[in-house]
Amino acid sequence: MRIMINNIEHLVDNSELVEIIKQYGAKAPFAVAINGEFVAKSNYATTQVQPDDLVDIVSPIFGG
Amino acid sequence: MKNSNKLIIYGQEFSSRLLIGSALYPSLDVMKAAIVKSESEIVTVSLRRQNPENNGGNIFWQELQSLGLTLLPNTAGCHSMKEVVNLAKMSRELFQTDWIKLELIGDEYNLQPDPMNLVAAADILLKDGFKVLPYCTDDLVICRRLADCGCEVIMPWGSPIGTGQGLANPQALSAIRHRLPDTTLIIDAGLGLPSHAVHAFELGYDAILLNSAIAQATDPITMASAFSYACKAGRAGYLAGRMPERQVAQPSTPIMGMPFWHQD
């Protein structure tokens, strides 16, 4: 299945969000959104990603 | 509130009246030293896409955490209500705070906040339990609407972000202070010099929030110290109460007893 993670195309076998995060190698701390909608950490295990979904995984960065 | 010795943000008290940004410093070491020197207790942060190959930005995060300050996440770069609301929720989960510096940009040229959607976004976030600190223009009515929907802190710009021009419209900023005496007012953006900070406090503003003025100074650490002094001087000057302004000169040395003077 083709999805976009942080605006880069990825091919994934598993549709479970928790597995996709693991496969991406996300480093804590991070937060996640799918198609622009926040996904709470408590929902990672039950969230399924669909083909062509846009997944954002974000981390702290400096800001003004 | 405006005569309190402490800065009050949603019921929480702070000694420093300088909120500082964490961006644009020449190095992490300079960032840390400047933040310490500024005596700020609140530092702004943001969220961006993670690249696992650079360890997910962990070094910045660890260094910032080591300072033990209150974090104020922003929604910088957001152009829609959906972006703002979802980035705020991501920030709340990751930073473990319900504070959010609401930035909703309406124009790329001057990074002016979107006045129409800003109030609606603030309302949504407040109802979702956020403590919203909206970055807005110096428009009195927008500020009143933000206060009406429950914002206890409002942050009008001094001038556009990153310009360092100081207070472009002091009359408008004064009107906001006059009409919202019980709201914590913070000048956010546009300051470039310590004298600009003094000016903000002399208008009765409760605090300032800045980043570029310190981070992009030739010597950020010394400039951080200068802004710390400026905040204290400006606040003290405001509380002391200025002398009456006059249109004509009035001598300070007594006229009575002046030698060489004779009545003709």
pLDDT tens per residue across span A6-37 = 999 999 999 999 999 999 999 999 999 999 99
With a pLDDT cut of 70, the percent of chain B lying above it is 98
Residue of chain B whose alpha carbon sits nearest to that of A26: B52
Tell me if B56 and A40 make a contact (CB, 8 A cut-off): no
Indicate if ipTM > 0.95. Answer: yes
Nearest chain A Cα to B75, which residue?
A: A63
Q: Is residue A12 part of a domain?
A: yes
The answer to whether residues B222 and B195 touch, using CB atoms and an 8 Å cutoff, is no
Q: Which pLDDT band holds residue B53 (cuts at 50, 70, 90)? A: confident
**Which residue of chain B has the CA closest to A30?**
B94
SS3 content of chain A, % helix, strand, coil (to 5): 20, 40, 40
Rounded Cα distance, B230 and B201, in Å: 9
User: Would A45 be classed as within a structural domain?
Assistant: yes
Please check whether residue A16 lies inside any domain of the structure: yes
Domain membership flag for residue A64? no
- Indicate the pLDDT class of residue B64, thresholds 50, 70 and 90: very high
Summarize pLDDT for B180-213 with one digit per residue, the tens.
Answer: 999 999 999 999 999 999 999 999 999 999 999 9
Indicate the number of domains in chain A.
1
* Residues of B with catalytic roles: 101
The CATH code of domain B14-48+58-238 reads 3.20.20.70
User: Would the annotation count B211 as a binding residue?
Assistant: yes
User: Hey, are the CB atoms on A60 and B49 less than 8 Å from each other?
Assistant: no
Residues 3-62 of A with CB under 8 A from B: 6-7, 24-33, 36-38, 40-41, 56-62
Q: Is B95 helix (H, G, I), strand (E, B) or coil?
A: helix
pLDDT tens, residue by residue, B71-87: 999 999 999 999 999 99
Write out the residue range of the structural domain in which residue A21 sits.
Answer: 2-58
Do the strands B112-113 and B131-136 form a parallel or antiparallel pair, or are they unpaired? unpaired
Res B2: pLDDT: 55
Rounded CA-CA distance B93/B199 in Å is 37
3-state secondary structure of B8: strand
Has residue A37 been placed in a domain? yes
Instruction: Quote the pLDDT of residue B261.
Output: 82
Instruction: Assign residue A34 the CATH number of its domain.
Output: 3.10.20.30
User: Are A60 and B64 a contacting pair at CB < 8 A?
Assistant: yes
Rounded to whole angstroms, the Cα distance separating B218 from B203 reads 28
Identify whether the C-beta of residue B7 lies closer than 8 Å to the C-beta of residue B207: yes
Decide if A51 is inside a domain: yes
A54 within some domain: yes
Amino acid in the structure at residue B239: L
User: Considering chain B, what is the average pLDDT of its residues?
Assistant: 95
In chain A, how long is the greatest CA-to-CA distance? 39
At B5, the pLDDT band (50, 70, 90 cuts) reads confident
User: Which residues in chain A are contacts of B191 at CB distance < 8 A?
Assistant: none
